[in-house]
Structure 1
C-alpha cells in the first residue's frame, strides 16, 4: 500500500512540476484557478492510466506501468484540453511527451535500480 501511495504522489509531483514550470515559462496568470485549469486534464489522464494499467500492482515498473501512465496522461490530458477549449498545439504535445516521459519514467527507473541494488546487497 505504501509503495502505491508514494508512486501516486511521485506521478502527481511530475504533473505539478510540469504545470508550474509551463505556466511560469508562458507567464501564466490566474493563480490557483489557472493552475487548476491546466492541471486537471493531465491529472484525469494519469488517473485513467493508473486504472487502465492496474498500476497499483507494480507501480514502480517502467514497463508496463510507467509507459501506460505516461501515454495515458498525455493522450487523455490533451483530449480533455481540446474538449474544454484549451490549447493542444503540436509543440505543446511534444513538450508534454518529453517532460512527462522523462519524469514519470525517470523516477520509476531510479526506483527499479535502487531496488535491484538493495536486492543484490542482501
Structure 2
C-alpha cells in the first residue's frame, strides 16, 4: 500500500495534463477522460514495472521510479492512442513527453529536495 500515494499523485497529474491540454486547444476540458485514459492505463503499467525493477532504495517517490513511470506512461499512452484509432502527431508526442516528464519527475525532485533540506529525522 505504500505505493498508492505516489500512484495517486501521478494519476492526478496525468488528469491535469489532459484537462489543460484540451483547454489549450479550445476543446471541451470535460472531455478529458478521452485524452487521459490511455496515459492512465500506461501509468499503471509503469508503476508495476517500476515495482519489479531491482533498484535500491525502492521508493515510489524517488526520481528513478518516476523516470520509469514517465517513460512507460508516454510510450504506452501513445501506443494505446494509435492502436485505438486516435492520433499521435510528432508535436503532441514532444509536448506530452516534456509536460509529463516535468509533472511526474518534478514533484519527486521537489520531495527529494525537501527531504534533504529537512535533514535526517531524529527519534527520541
The alignment partner of 1:53 has SS state of: helix
Aligned-residue CA RMSD in angstroms?
A: 1.7
Structure 2 counterparts to residues 1-122 of structure 1, below 5 A: 1=1, 3-29=2-28, 31=30, 34-54=31-51, 57-63=58-64, 65-120=65-120, 122=122
Query: Normalised by the size of structure 1, how large is the TM-score?
Result: 0.87
Shift of 1:94: 0.2
TM superposition shift of 1:30: 7.8
TM-score (norm 2): 0.86
Counterpart for residue 55 of structure 2? none
**Contact persistence 2:17–2:100 (CA under 8 A):** yes
The gaps in structure 1 that reach 5 residues or longer are none
Instruction: Specify which structure has the higher proportion of helix.
Output: 1
Q: Which runs of 4+ in 1 moved over 3 A?
A: none
The question of whether the paired residues in 1 share the 8 Å contact of 2:18 and 2:32 is answered with yes
The CA deviation string for residues 62-92 of structure 1, in whole angstroms up to 9 with x for no partner, is 01x0110000000000000001111100000
Structure number with greater Rg is 2
Unpaired runs of 5+ in structure 2?
53-57
The offset of 1:29, in angstroms, is: 3.0
